[in-house]
C-alpha cells in the first residue's frame, strides 16, 4: 500500500485547458486542497481531429503505466454524451481489463435522450460501462434516477455531487448606475442566446440602463450580427471564450448573471454567479431546481419565454434593492453548499471508500449526504 497521497487521474476531452465547462471544473478540483494528488489527461486534444485517436491511445498507455507503478491510482473518468461516450467506452474497457479502480462522472444536459437514441447493442454496452465502475457521480437527482432505474446501476454506487467553484471572496455589493449583465457559456440555441438577445432588445430594456457581456465560444460572429440587427450591438460585448481567470474577473465586475438554457446538467456559470454574489437568472432545468430557491437566491424563467426574461431583467437593472437581496441570498447559498472545501471533503471520502473496498465493493457512505 502506498504511504503517500492517493494518485487520481482525471480523463476528459480537451483536458482542463480546452475542455469547456467540464475542463474548468476539473482544473478547479486539481488545484484544490485535498488528500489526493490530481493529474489531468486529455483524451481527445483541443478539438476533434485526426490526431484524437492517438490522444486516446496515449491516455490508455498512461492508465497501463499507472497499473504497474501506482496500482492504487483511482482513474476519474469524465463522460458526456455523443462522441464522449464512445471514447469513454474504450477507456473503461481498458480500465476493466487492467483491473484499475475507476469512477465515472457524468456531465451532460440530457444523457437520457442520448442513451435512448443508441442501438440496442449500444445501450447494453453503455449500461455495462456504468454498472462496472467502482462509483458513478451524477450532477442531480434526475441523473441519479437515470442511473438506477434505467441503466441498472446499484443505488449505493451512485452519488449526487453538485458542481463547485473556488471562493472568489466578495467585497461590498456595489450599486452601479449602469448595471452589467453577464452570460457565460457556449453561444448556442440550447443555451438560450437567441432569446436572451431578443429580451435585451425589448422596448422596456431599450430605455433601461445596462450593458452586457456575452462570453463563450460557438458561432460568435452569427450572434454579433444578430445583436446588431436587433439594434443592441453597441450595448453588448462578445469577447469569445474566456479562461477561468478572465471569467472570474468579468464576474467580479458584474451585477446579473443570466443563463436562459433549454437544457443543463448543473451549469458551472450558475455556480460561479452564486459564488460572486450576483443576481442569478436561469431556467429550472437539470439540477438547478435542486440548488436554487426561486426568488430567494436566484430567479427562474421558463425556457424560451422572451417576455418573462425581459421583465425579470428590467426589474433587476432598475431596482438595486432587489439585486442586493438576491446577491446576499446567492452568496449565502454558495458558502453553504457549493464551496470547494465541502466538495473536496466529499470527494476525498469517496476515493477513500473505493480504496478500502477495492477487493469487495460495498455502499459508499457520503459524510454530507444531501436529501432529495
Spatial neighbors of 213 by CB under 8 A, at least 6 apart, are: 180, 181, 182, 183, 236, 237, 238, 239, 250, 254
Identify the pLDDT of residue 85.
97
Mean predicted lDDT score pLDDT of the chain:
92
Task: Give me the percent of the chain exceeding a pLDDT of 70.
Answer: 94
Mean pLDDT of 274-295: 95
Task: Give span(s): CATH 3.40.50.2000, the chain.
Answer: 7-164+339-356, 180-337
Please give the pLDDT value at position 47: 87
Higher pLDDT, 366 or 335: 335
CA dihedral 305, 310, 311, 313 (to 10 degrees): 120
Other Cβ atoms closer than 10 A to 39 = 15
- Going by pLDDT thresholds of 50, 70 and 90, the confidence category of residue 362 is very low
Output the CATH code of domain 180-337.
3.40.50.2000
Q: How confident is the model at residue 172, as a pLDDT?
A: 53
Which pLDDT value is given to residue 366? 53
C-alpha cell at 90: 474504450
pLDDT at 92 over 50: yes
The pLDDT of residue 320: 95
| CB within 8 Å of 175: residues ≥ 6 apart | 320, 324
Instruction: Note whether 108 and 265 are within 8 A (CB).
Output: yes
Residue 171 has pLDDT above 70, yes or no: no
Express each pLDDT in 4-14 by its tens digit: 789 999 999 99
pLDDT exceeds 60 at position 370? no
Query: Quick one: pLDDT at residue 244?
Result: 86
Identify the pLDDT of residue 17.
Answer: 82
CATH superfamily of 7-164+339-356: Glycogen Phosphorylase B; (3.40.50.2000)
pLDDT in tens, 113-145: 999 999 999 999 999 999 999 999 999 999 999
pLDDT by residue (tens digit) across 227-244? 999 999 999 999 999 988
Q: Choose between 342 and 304: higher pLDDT.
A: 304
Q: How much is the pLDDT for 1?
A: 45
Asked if the model's pLDDT at residue 280 lies above 60, the reply is: yes
Residue 368 has pLDDT above 70, yes or no: no
Averaged pLDDT for residues 23-41: 92
Q: What is the mean pLDDT of residues 295-303?
A: 97
Amino acid at each position: 500500500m502506498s504511504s503517500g497521497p492517493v494518485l487520481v487521474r482525471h480523463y476528459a476531452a480537451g483536458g482542463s485547458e480546452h475542455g469547456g465547462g467540464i475542463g474548468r471544473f476539473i482544473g478547479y478540483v486539481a488545484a484544490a486542497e485535498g488528500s489526493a494528488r490530481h493529474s489531468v489527461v486529455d483524451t481527445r486534444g483541443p478539438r476533434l481531429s485526426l490526431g484524437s485517436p492517438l490522444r486516446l491511445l496515449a491516455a490508455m498507455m498512461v492508465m497501463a503505466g499507472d497499473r504497474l507503478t501506482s496500482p492504487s491510482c483511482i482513474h476519474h473518468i469524465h463522460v458526456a454524451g455523443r462522441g464522449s461516450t464512445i471514447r469513454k467506452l474504450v477507456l473503461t474497457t481498458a480500465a476493466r481489463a487492467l483491473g484499475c479502480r475507476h469512477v465515472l462522472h457524468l456531465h451532460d444536459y440530457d444523457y437520457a435522450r442520448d442513451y435512448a437514441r443508441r442501438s440496442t447493442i449500444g445501450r447494453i454496452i453503455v449500461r455495462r460501462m456504468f454498472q462496472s465502475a467502482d462509483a458513478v457521480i451524477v450532477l442531480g437527482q434526475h441523473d441519479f434516477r437515470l442511473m438506477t432505474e434505467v441503466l441498472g446501476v446499484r443505488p449505493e454506487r451512485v452519488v449526487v455531487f453538485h458542481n463547485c467553484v473556488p471562493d472568489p471572496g466578495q467585497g461590498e455589493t456595489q450599486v452601479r448606475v449602469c448595471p452589467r449583465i453577464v452570460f457565460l457559456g457556449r453561444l448556442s440555441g440550447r443555451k438560450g442566446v437567441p432569446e436572451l438577445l431578443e429580451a435585451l432588445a425589448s422596448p422596456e430594456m431599450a430605455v433601461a440602463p445596462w450593458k452586457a457581456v456575452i462570453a463563450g465560444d460557438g458561432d460568435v460572429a452569427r450572434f454579433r450580427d444578430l445583436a446588431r440587427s436587433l439594434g443592441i450591438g453597441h450595448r453588448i460585448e462578445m469577447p469569445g471564450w474566456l479562461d477561468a481567470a478572465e471569467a472570474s474577473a468579468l464576474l467580479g465586475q458584474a451585477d446579473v448573471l443570466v443563463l436562459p438554457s433549454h437544457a443543463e446538467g448543473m451549469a458551472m456559470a450558475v455556480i460561479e454567479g452564486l459564488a460572486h454574489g450576483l443576481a442569478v437568472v436561469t431556467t429550472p432545468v437539470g439540477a438547478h431546481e435542486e440548488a436554487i430557491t426561486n426568488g430567494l437566491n436566484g430567479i427562474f424563467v421558463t425556457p424560451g419565454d422572451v417576455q418573462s426574461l425581459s421583465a425579470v431583467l428590467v426589474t433587476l437593472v432598475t431596482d438595486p434593492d432587489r439585486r442586493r437581496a438576491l446577491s446576499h441570498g446567492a452568496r449565502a447559498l454558495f458558502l453553504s453548499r457549493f464551496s470547494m472545501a465541502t466538495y473536496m471533503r466529499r470527494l476525498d471520502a469517496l476515493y477513500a471508500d473505493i480504496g478500502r473496498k477495492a477487493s469487495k465493493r460495498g455502499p459508499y457512505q457520503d459524510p454530507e449526504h444531501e436529501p432529495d
